[in-house]
Amino acid sequence: MYDHEYVLGIESTADEFGCAIVSRRGEILSNISDCYKPLTGGIHPREAAQHHSSAAARVVRKSLSSARITLDEVDAIAVSLGPGLGPCLRTGATIARALAAYYRKPLVPVNHSVAHIEIGRLTTGAEDPVIVYASGGNTIVSAYANRRYRVFGETLDIALGNAMDTFALKAGLGQPLIRNNVHIVELSAKKGSSFLELPYTVKGQDMSFSGLLTGALEKASSGTNLEDLCLSFVETCYSMLCEVSERALAHTRKSELLLTGGVAASDKLSRMMEGVAKEHSAVFRRVPAEYATDNGAMVAWTGLLSLTHGIQVPIEESEVRPRWRLDEAEVPWRTAQ
């Protein structure tokens, strides 16, 4: 074990460029983000990467000044090296390497999925939960066992958040996709009244959202009421995730259920997950909204946990890993608990 006081974390796996500083005691001293907003459609990886390189200096400076700390006082630079979009990851990694090299600090590699879990544990006090991690890029139900977060179920194709975003864009619901912290599909679903059958695909413990998306878009193009379609879409995809989560809880007999990732901002999904937890006498916990979407704090905190267990990477070996799976990352700090 090593003692380190402050870690600066950089997040740039998708549309968000974030920089945060955390302390060893788990205080989040700053958490600054700047989000790329596409003019049309979804994320264009190269445009997002361009946004990140333009925003980086301002965001890093603001993060340091909010935390009232200098780079010399920071013990290490942590960075999300994957999973994520190649161009975006490379931009964040380049900035982190430059800071680590210039200020002679250790560089700490962080798995983005592990970071979503660890910020959830830090901010909710969950100790050993079944974790439901749902976002625009990932949909994974996992739990800790033997040095890693083991995957109990995941999407076989697109992520839940991606399915919702794509449906909203292609069905003509308009942008922005998030209004008053609620996804536009969920907002529209509130006005729906009848449930329509859509493809519900759970295979073993895994989920597939692409059939649901295609089915819903076909119905949308044939003139089906859009509000009923949104209601059915949301009910179907959230129920799929609840089914898988419930089996993981039953199998592991863990006493906590943690919802994390961008889709954790959904009150509806949260209520459904709370119901699942209750059925199994488990405590439901949900990451606070400000740490649900991608952020630098989750990277800084996971970087600090990693660093205290000797994890760092030489700059010349710090390549990005766009397909770095959750269960490929070791989490030695959990063993010590």
Smallest separation (angstroms) from Fe ion to the CB of 73? 28
CB of 81 within 8 A of CB of 93? yes
Give the nearer residue to Fe ion in terms of CB position, either 113 or 252. 113
Q: Which stretch binds Fe ion (CB under 5 A): 117-125, 133-141, 156-164, 181-189?
A: 133-141
Give the nearer residue to Fe ion in terms of CB position, either 256 or 294. 294
Q: Which stretch binds Fe ion (CB under 5 A): 170-178, 250-258, 286-294, 307-315?
A: 286-294
Q: Which stretch binds Fe ion (CB under 5 A): 54-62, 146-154, 243-251, 291-299?
A: 291-299
- Residues 246 to 275 in contact with Fe ion, rule: CB under 5 A: none
Q: Which stretch binds Fe ion (CB under 5 A): 28-36, 148-156, 203-211, 289-297?
A: 289-297
Chain centre to alpha carbon of residue 252: 23
d(CA 219, CA 203): 24
Smallest separation (angstroms) from Fe ion to the CB of 14? 7
Smallest separation (angstroms) from Fe ion to the CB of 273? 18
Smallest separation (angstroms) from Fe ion to the CB of 181? 17
Can residue 118 be called a binding residue for Fe ion (CB under 5 A)?
no
Distances (CA, A) of 254 to 32, 248, 250, 270: 34, 9, 8, 18
Give the nearer residue to Fe ion in terms of CB position, either 14 or 273. 14
- Residues 9 to 68 in contact with Fe ion, rule: CB under 5 A: none
Give the nearer residue to Fe ion in terms of CB position, either 229 or 300. 300
Q: Which stretch binds Fe ion (CB under 5 A): 37-45, 75-83, 129-137, 148-156?
A: 129-137
The residues, ordered by sequence, that sit 6+ positions from 101 with a Cβ below 8 Å of its Cβ are 315
Smallest separation (angstroms) from Fe ion to the CB of 12? 11
Give the nearer residue to Fe ion in terms of CB position, either 33 or 306. 33
> Given phi > 0 = left and psi -120 to 50 = alpha, else beta, which region is 268?
alpha
Can residue 165 be called a binding residue for Fe ion (CB under 5 A)?
no
Amino acid at 147: R
Give the nearer residue to Fe ion in terms of CB position, either 135 or 252. 135
Can residue 135 be called a binding residue for Fe ion (CB under 5 A)?
yes
Smallest separation (angstroms) from Fe ion to the CB of 33? 12
Q: Which stretch binds Fe ion (CB under 5 A): 70-78, 178-186, 234-242, 287-295?
A: 287-295
Give the nearer residue to Fe ion in terms of CB position, either 90 or 247. 90
* Number of residues engaging Fe ion in binding (CB under 5 A): 2
Choose which of 284, 294, 301, 320 interacts with Fe ion (CB under 5 A).
294
Give the nearer residue to Fe ion in terms of CB position, either 220 or 287. 287
What does the binding site for Fe ion look like in residue numbers (CB under 5 A)? Answer: 135, 294
